[in-house]
């Protein structure tokens, strides 16, 4: 599984999520890209892209929970 983060969204919201996933799951590719071309969403909410699907939440903590649920479902 690969999880992609936008660098600008990392700066605004999701850096703790990125760091948590990077440290916890060695078998998952957690990548940051300069732009994921979701600018409107990027300015408003923490999000990541998993298997081409946008996963978003109101807070970084909720995003982490959603991503961890997806990871466990895939395992």
Q: What ranges do the domains of the chain cover?
A: 2-74
Residues 16, 75: Cα–Cα separation, whole Å? 23
Does residue 15 register a pLDDT over 80?
yes
pLDDT of residue 75: 77
Residues 31, 23: Cα–Cα separation, whole Å? 13
Q: Kindly report, residue by residue over 29-75, the tens digit of the pLDDT.
A: 999 999 999 999 999 999 999 999 999 999 999 999 999 999 999 87
Residues 31, 72: Cα–Cα separation, whole Å? 19
Across 21-29, average pLDDT? 94
Does residue 28 register a pLDDT over 80?
yes
**pTM recorded for the entire structure:** 0.94
Across 7-22, average pLDDT? 97
Task: Please give the DSSP secondary-structure letter assigned to residue 65.
Answer: H
Total count of residues recorded for the chain: 75
């Amino acid at each position: 599984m690969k999880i992609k983060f936008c660098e600008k969204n990392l700066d605004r919201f999701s850096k703790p999520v990125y760091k948590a996933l990077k440290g916890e799951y060695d078998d998952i590719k957690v990548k940051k890209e300069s732009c994921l071309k979701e600018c409107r969403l990027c300015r408003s909410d923490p999000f990541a892209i998993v298997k081409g699907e946008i996963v978003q939440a109101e807070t970084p903590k909720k995003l982490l929970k959603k991503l961890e649920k997806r990871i466990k479902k895939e395992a």
